[in-house]
Amino acid sequence: WHQRAGRGYLMMGLLKKLKVLPLYYPVLIFILLISPWLWAVSQQMPHFLHYFFIYQQFDRFTESGFNNAMPFYFYLGILIAGFIPWSFILFRKIKTTKMVYQNRFTHPLTWFLVLWVVVITVFFSIPHSKIIGYILPVTPALALLLAMGLAPYCQKSWFSWSVGIMALLCISSNL
């Protein structure tokens, strides 16, 4: 319990420090780095800025005329299939989402990871056009949640054997 509380206070302390950081310096550096490239491309292709920023970003998000039209729940199926055979542990974590919300101040890392998964998945589920690669930023957070869910089982011998057998099956299926 003390380790978890310590991590929670550490995480909250890091978040407070991040709030103090001036964000205009990184944004200014970013703009200074990309401006020459954007200017050079715009000289060769005058409509590039409109195509890149308006058509490829906003229009793709708000309109349905693009390719790969999929239903809203498309990414949920991709994530479940992508995490087989570990999806059942993730479902167990989802069942405890209410508890995670209630304990968000004592377990801020778990709360952060859940928000990471939910916000990105919902955001990319809104447009009709979906590409599987858009959901990849969610996988590190899901992997960490999975590791947190598996931690209680790691000391049991049957778990070690089952992980070893699954690893051998994965390796042998790729041969």
In tens, the pLDDT along 73-126 reads 888 888 888 887 777 776 666 666 667 667 767 777 778 888 888 899 998 888
First to last CA, the chain: 44
Cα 115 from Cα 67, distance rounded (Å): 29
Q: What would the pLDDT profile of 28-59 be if each residue is shown by its tens digit?
A: 888 999 999 999 999 999 898 888 888 877 77
pLDDT band at 63 (very low <50, low <70, confident <90, very high): confident
What pTM was estimated for this model as a whole? 0.62
